[in-house]
């Protein structure tokens, strides 16, 4: 290959001009168009995801899926009972993605005021039959329509894993905006650190977008400005190594925790005090 440095300067500049123009254009596009391009990609993925779900799901299949894989209501209630404490004494708590109304019913039983939103009409009807305040609504759209500092607390169980990364970041920031100073937020998600979850049960729901490690969701809460961030795990798997096996070796205890550990985690935080 000839050494371009041996060419006359005018020739080198002429050869380099189109390359420099292309690089300059790429630089400008990367600076000014990146956000638009990311939004376009997210919009395209949302259309693809919606089309996939619409094409794959018979109208009643989500209902059947909930009945088969949605979890035991009594077990879910026990999990929620362990997370109810931050909401005691509050009167305007929002349950995002309220589903069958398990947390709403628990709040009512504990004298906590609030309401839920969900996209599934049949879930909403089930809540209403139980006398619960459940309303139709998309999470981001509903939060976007609320005044700043208008909520006493937010609970969101198994919502985060259904959102694209950009949607989730916006949702956590919106939660921070609409919460009053000192108000709590609790977000529950499947724990992919447990391999039976991350490699199997998480993928039983075709509407899940991606596994979400607890450290990442806690980080999103941190950059949104939340305080007192804590991660808890819950709902241990029924399948475990025997107590004798675990007692015999620290390695076996680590294997047991990794393979058959807790199925869910919760990120708890508070809006900073004024």
The domains found in the chain, sorted by start residue, are 4-56 (no CATH), 70-270 (3.40.50.150)
168 to 7, 74, 84, 128, 246: CA distances (angstroms): 55, 28, 23, 28, 38
151 to 102, 113, 178, 218: CA distances (angstroms): 20, 11, 6, 21
pLDDT tens, 105-147? 999 999 999 999 999 999 999 999 999 999 999 999 999 999 9
In angstroms, the CA 68 to CA 65 distance is 5
Supply 93's token pair. 């708590």
Number of H helices, E strands in the chain: 12, 7
* pLDDT at position 267: 98
* 8 Å CB contact between 84 and 100: no
pLDDT tens, 256-269? 666 666 789 999 99
The dihedral through the CA atoms of 41, 187, 161, 159 has a sign that is negative
* pLDDT at position 36: 74
* pLDDT at position 248: 64
Q: How confident is the model at residue 63 (pLDDT cuts 50, 70, 90)?
A: low
Helices 34-56 and 165-178, packing angle to 10 deg? 100
pLDDT tens, 139-195? 999 999 999 999 999 999 999 999 999 999 999 999 999 999 999 999 999 999 888
Tokens 């949302």 belong to 46
Half-sphere exposure of 116 (CA within 13 A, CB side): 33
Q: Would you put residue 45 in left (φ > 0), alpha (ψ -120 to 50) or beta?
A: alpha
């Amino acid at each position: 290959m000839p050494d371009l440095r041996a060419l006359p300067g005018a020739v080198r500049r002429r050869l380099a001009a189109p390359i420099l123009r292309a690089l300059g254009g790429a630089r400008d596009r990367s600076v000014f168009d990146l956000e638009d391009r990311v939004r376009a990609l997210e919009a395209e993925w949302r259309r693809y995801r919606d089309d996939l779900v619409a094409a794959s799901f018979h109208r009643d299949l989500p209902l059947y899926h909930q009945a088969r894989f949605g979890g035991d209501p009594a077990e879910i209630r026990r999990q929620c009972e362990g997370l109810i404490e931050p909401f005691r004494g509050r009167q305007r708590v929002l349950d995002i993605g309220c589903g069958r109304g398990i947390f709403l019913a628990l709040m009512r039983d504990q004298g906590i005021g609030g309401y839920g939103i969900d996209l599934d009409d049949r879930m909403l009807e089930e809540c209403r039959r139980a006398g619960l305040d459940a309303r139709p609504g998309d999470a981001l759209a509903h939060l976007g329509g609320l005044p700043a500092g208008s909520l006493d607390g937010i609970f969101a169980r198994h919502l985060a894993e259904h959102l694209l990364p950009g949607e989730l970041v916006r949702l956590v920031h919106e939660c921070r905006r609409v919460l009053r100073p000192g108000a709590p937020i609790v977000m529950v998600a499947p724990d992919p650190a447990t391999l039976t979850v991350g490699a199997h049960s998480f993928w039983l729901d075709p509407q899940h977008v991606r596994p979400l490690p607890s450290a990442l969701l806690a980080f999103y809460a941190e950059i949104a400005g939340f305080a007192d961030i804590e991660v808890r795990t819950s709902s241990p798997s029924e399948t475990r190594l025997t107590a004798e096996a675990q007692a015999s070796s620290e390695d076996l205890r680590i294997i047991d925790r990794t393979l058959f550990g807790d199925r869910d985690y919760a990120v708890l935080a508070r809006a900073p005090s004024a």
